[in-house]
Structure 1
Amino acid sequence: MTQVLEHAWPYTAERVDGELRIGGIGVRALAAEYGTPAYLLDEADFRARCREWLDALPDGDVHYGGKAFVCPELVRWLVELGLRLDVCTGGELAVGLAGGMPPERITFHGNNKSPAELRRAVETGVGCVVADSFTEIDRLAALAAGLGVRQRVMVRVTPGVDAATHASIATGGEDSKFGFSLSAGLALRAAGRVLAEPALELVGLHSHIGSQILDTTSFAAAARRMAGLLAEVEREYGVRLPTLDLGGGLGIAYRPEDPRPPSPAELVAALREALPGDVRLAVEPGRSIAGPSTVALYEVGTVKGRYVSVDGGMSDNPRPAMYGAPYTAVLASRESDAAESVVTVVGKHCESGDVLVRNIPLPGDLRPGDLLAVPASGAYQRSMASNYNHVARPPVIAVRDGAARVVVRRETEEDLLRLYP
């Protein structure tokens, strides 16, 4: 018997005789070959979500937000599909280049780019640097002049929009470490500073109001304020900037009971309605592409009262411990007719806060060796993973049409010990 899973799961997720299958492969076979914990990346799902964004914005630019999750193989998919790439550190830039992303299709973000990172960006020929401070504008202008190039720049704006999301991932309010305040007039001054530098070319304005936002209202409010700033720049400096990058932040469903988020087409329509027709729109989806495409797979080690312990935890998914991010989990390796019990799924780390899923109904006959699957695990999990307690980070296994391959290998003890002189 086959049961198709929806909402928080990848497009190809299904149950066959009780076993979860992703990309046409059962989790028992994947666990036997690659071990657990592991991230199972549904390649067909990832590609389909990329195409949804491209279809929603055929006359604009879709930048994949690399901070959600990036590796060279994934970058190769982005290049093939025609997306651009956002990076915010020199390390992410290195991964993008290693995956073959043309540098002119890379945008470099970050609130504190080092002089070395800025130099590499300019020398590499990245398509755009998003300026985040007056100090950075001065540094970038001097670098570009010294290298004899004219660097394309956007100014990051803090539009003063408080998005309905957790405070740790809200970035558009007045009290933010990112960008130039619109209301204080700093964004307008920053645009003027860039325009005054012969080695810099101001190509647009940028804003990003936060992450895991599940309605279009905040996005539209930011778009209207940014459109007003475009008009101010034109009045003040006589320049009509061609591009407005409104960042990413569209949320996803982490559990079946979560509300269905707006589609890329619905969000783009809301943004378009708030903008002048001659502005080229750019967006930066990350979570909404990578998040639903990946399932985290764990093996149960012990069951003790209401605590079910698995072989991963806060080192491979810090989000529940950091800001209470909610997830679900299912018994993935077999069928069970046992009555459900409300349990808490915990990790193996020496922290009471090492919790993956709180108060979830799971079959009462859970036992060591069972496999649990956690959907919506593709964004900000492998990218934020750590080696806490000297635990090696899990692999990422791409699955598609019945075939599996490693795109990020599992770390080993040798990897960890290699750091010590």
Structure 2
Amino acid sequence: MALTLPAHPDPRHDEILGSGLLQELSYAFGGPFHFVLPERFDANLAAFRAALAEAGVEGRVYFAKKANKAAAFVERCARAGAGVDVASHGELREALGHGVRGEDLVVTGPAKAGRLLRTAALQGSLIAVDSLDELDQVLGLDTPRPVRVLLRRLPPSQPQSRFGLDDAQLDAALARCAGAGDRIRMEGFSFHLSGYEVRPRADLAGDLVGLCLKARTMGLQADRISIGGGFAVDYTSAGHWQAFLAGQGPDDYHARKRFAAGDFYPYHSPVAGAGALRAVLAARPHGTGAPLAVRLREAGVMLLLEPGRALLDGAGSSVFRVQGVKDRAGYGIVTVDGTSLSLSEQWFNSEYLPDPVLLADGPATGPAYRACVGGASCLDSDLLTWRKIAFPARPRPGDLLVYPNTAGYQMDSNESPFHDLPLPPKVVLRHDGGRPRWRFDRRTAH
């Protein structure tokens, strides 16, 4: 029996699939494309803001731009007064160019280039300082106003992380900030924490509140902390996810490829998105004392968040056209008109697991058909889906495969014009007078 992992039901997505628009766009573009739904981004942003308000916590949401390059989402941030998390000069330029104010940007990433630091400082952006060398660069900038910084803390629970300052480095950084006078405005602390667990995030956030209080005794502002992203997305039901993990094995994959359960993103999460933020705020750091929300309020500390995937939940999908199908013993290989560079999970020795939807070019006939999905490149490893998908019928050239919910980190993180294939365009979909309408995304061409 073929393993399945259907995405959560999504009436809006089903409406788009049934409208005929995707077939028209595939014909017009002559290749794969992505569609994005900015109204879903708006709803996710509103949910995070509501979680902060319900807890009585002052906070700011910054969209982690690395999760998707589409301008549409940055434009929504500008419209809603939300912030954007950038990690390169190009991302900073894109955010400014699409209407986000410099003071609404937070600049993250390790060992930032001098040009990025200088531009960020001149624009009044908040810079998460990752090392003493970087702090010295910031202190050496000649700017007309104090440079806004956070000091990034190395997580004690993840000492192998390459991000952040350890205890001795943090003490040295605080001393340099205190001695810098008006050249710098040390606004607080941040951290980069791998994983999606609530408890470690709440524990470290509680520690940073204490660091703010310590920094204030040195004359520093220290009135905000950033807990980064790491808010999971729930793609499928608990039952489907548990059945998949229990049943999957080498026979379910082309070439008997092996995946361990730990290789996969947690496609089901009982606490996800804004619900995960609520859980963090309700948690008692290290299991004692007042909940994090209470500690933030009592200390007068603002909470900054940098979600990426969680703001993009349901906000877009990827569409590929079938170019050919070949039969193998017991299953088939479907080849589509794009590559696995447009489904980034495949390039981390993992698999994007939610089932693609087959849109047949005409009436579907014949029995169910199991097939993996390969890309159009000459690489044997170029598979969008190694798993033998249970299609309702044998796909045919001209059919479409729609991979659902790919806006978060999937559709463009690793895209490359390999073989001189053009990058799949992004189109923005919306409803106008009861019918779907589209336009190209307005991202600046480079």
Note closer, same or farther for the CA distance 1:229–1:147 as it changes in structure 2 (3 Å cut): closer
The answer for unaligned runs of 5 or more in structure 2 is 1-5, 241-266, 286-291
Output the CA distance in 2 between the equivalents of 1:37 and 1:317: 12
The one-letter code matched in structure 2 to 1:404 is W
Structure 1 residue 269: Cα displacement = 2.4
Cα deviation code 1:82-105 (max 9, x no counterpart): 211110000000100110101111
Shift of 1:384: 2.8
Correspondent of 1:149 among 145, 149, 152? 145
Contact 1:296–1:377 at 8 Å: present in 2 too?
A: yes
User: Counterparts of 2:437 and 2:110 in 1: how far apart (Å)?
Assistant: 40
Question: Residue type of the partner of 1:310?
Answer: V
Which residue of structure 2 aligns with residue 386 of structure 1? Answer: 416
Q: Tell which deviates more after alignment, 110-119 or 325-334.
A: 325-334
TM-fit CA distance, 1:7:
5.0
Deviations 1:109-136 (A, max 9, x none): 120211122111122x233111111111
- The CA deviation string for residues 381-402 of structure 1, in whole angstroms up to 9 with x for no partner, is 3143122232221111110111
For residues 337 and 255 of structure 1, the distance between their equivalents in structure 2, rounded to whole angstroms, comes to: 28
- 2:358 is matched with which residue? 331
1:371 aligns with 2:400: yes
Residue 403 of structure 1 pairs with residue 437 of structure 2: yes
Tell me by how many angstroms 1:319 deviates: 2.2
Q: CA deviation at 1:338?
A: 4.1
Q: How do residues 339-350 of structure 1 correspond to structure 2 at under 5 angstroms?
A: 339-350=367-378
Q: CA deviation at 1:356?
A: 1.2
Alignment of 1:98-109 (within 5 A): 98-109=97-108
Task: Classify the secondary structure of the residue corresponding to 1:136.
Answer: helix
Q: How many residues are paired up?
A: 384
Alignment of 1:50-61 (within 5 A): 50-58=45-53, 59-61=58-60
Could you tell me how far apart the structure 2 residues matched to 1:128 and 1:304 are?
Answer: 54
**What does residue 27 of structure 1 align with?**
22
Counterpart Cα distance in 2 of 1:37 and 1:299: 7
> Is contact 1:321-1:354 (8 Å) kept?
no
Query: For residues 144 and 232 of structure 2, what CA distance do their matches in structure 1 show?
Result: 42
175, 200, 215: which one pairs with 2:184?
200
Matches within 5 A, 1:6-405: 7-8=7-8, 12-14=12-14, 20-21=17-18, 26-58=21-53, 59-123=58-122, 125-143=123-141, 146-161=142-157, 173-181=158-166, 184-198=167-181, 199-210=183-194, 213=196, 215-234=197-216, 237=218, 239=220, 241-255=222-236, 257=240, 258-273=267-282, 274=285, 275=292, 276=295, 277=297, 278-305=300-327, 306-327=332-353, 328-333=355-360, 336=364, 338-359=366-387, 360-380=389-409, 381-401=411-431, 402-405=436-439
Q: How far apart are the structure 2 equivalents of 1:207 and 1:87?
A: 15
Distance change (3 Å), C-alpha of 1:88 and 1:100: same
C-alpha displacement at 1:31, in angstroms?
A: 1.9
> Using a 3 Å threshold, how does the CA distance of structure 1 residues 228 and 255 change in structure 2: closer, same or farther?
same
Give CA-to-partner distance per residue, 1:233-282, whole Å, 9 cap, x none.
Answer: 456x3656210110012122445633245244422223323421232111
Offset of residue 337 of structure 1: 6.0
8 Å Cα contact 1:109-1:129 kept in structure 2: yes
Per the normalisation by structure 2, the TM-score is 0.79
Contact 1:302 1:367 in 2 (8 A): yes
User: Following the alignment from structure 1 to structure 2, what is the Cα–Cα distance between the partners of residues 244 and 218?
Assistant: 15
Point out the structure with the larger helix share.
Answer: 2
| Equivalent residue letter for 2:147 | Q
**4+ aligned runs moved over 6 Å, structure 1:** none
Contact kept, 8 Å, 1:188 with 1:232, in 2: the verdict is no
